């Protein structure tokens, strides 16, 4: 039986997401989890948090989600881990972004509307791929432009 279709499997994932993203109530009704707190430990904290985050992603893989949904979930964890590794600002980002809750919601949407989730995830993957290609092109073109401009001066 699919581990995400049974109540225990989903409850375990909800517990992980809640612990990392929403387990600590703050004044004003806002909640944070252990993710931004772990991020305060330089280097190690974000790595430990990412390992727990990948537990949800691994469960999704076992659930046979489409590749686009799987890539989107990995992207959520990578964004959370990468931006979260920036001292202080990254921890504030972690408190708001809540990648684990996003991934759990994505997984739930996939089970309710597989075709719709697959479509929206394909669009997300396409947009991210285009942004990364533009970034790569800029990284390659900018030094060439600078060298060419300097060469024209001489």
pLDDT at 93 over 90: yes
Q: Is residue 1 one of the residues assigned to a domain?
A: no
Q: Which two tokens stand for residue 128?
A: 């991210």
19-74 pLDDT, tens digit per residue, is 999 999 999 989 999 998 998 888 788 889 999 898 889 888 887 888 888 999 99
Confidence of residue 114 (pLDDT cuts 50, 70, 90): confident
Tell me the chain's radius of gyration from C-alpha atoms.
19
Please give the pLDDT value at position 1: 38
Distance CA(62)–CA(30), nearest Å, equals 32
Q: Is residue 146 one of the residues assigned to a domain?
A: yes
What is the reported pTM? 0.76
3-23 pLDDT, tens digit per residue, is 555 567 778 888 889 999 999
Question: Which 3 state secondary structure label does DSSP give 41?
Answer: coil
Q: Is residue 61 one of the residues assigned to a domain?
A: yes
Residues in Cβ contact with 58 at an 8 Å cutoff, skipping those fewer than 6 apart: none
The chain-wide mean pLDDT, for the chain, equals 87
Tell me how many domains the chain contains: 1
For residue 146, the enclosing domain spans 7-153
């Amino acid at each position: 039986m699919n581990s995400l279709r049974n109540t225990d499997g989903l409850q375990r994932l909800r517990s992980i997401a809640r612990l990392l993203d929403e387990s600590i109530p703050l004044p004003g009704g806002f909640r944070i989890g252990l993710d931004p707190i772990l991020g305060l430990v330089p280097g190690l904290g974000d790595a430990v948090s990412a390992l727990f985050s990948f537990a949800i992603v691994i469960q999704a893989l076992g659930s046979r989600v489409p590749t686009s949904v799987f890539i989107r979930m990995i992207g959520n964890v990578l964004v959370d881990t990468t931006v979260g590794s920036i001292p202080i600002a990254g921890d504030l980002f972690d408190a708001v972004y809540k990648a684990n809750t996003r991934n759990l919601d994505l997984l739930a949407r996939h089970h309710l509307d597989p075709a719709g989730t697959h479509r929206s995830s394909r669009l997300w993957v396409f947009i991210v791929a285009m942004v990364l290609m533009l970034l790569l092109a800029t990284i390659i073109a900018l030094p060439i432009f600078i060298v060419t401009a300097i060469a024209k001066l001489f």
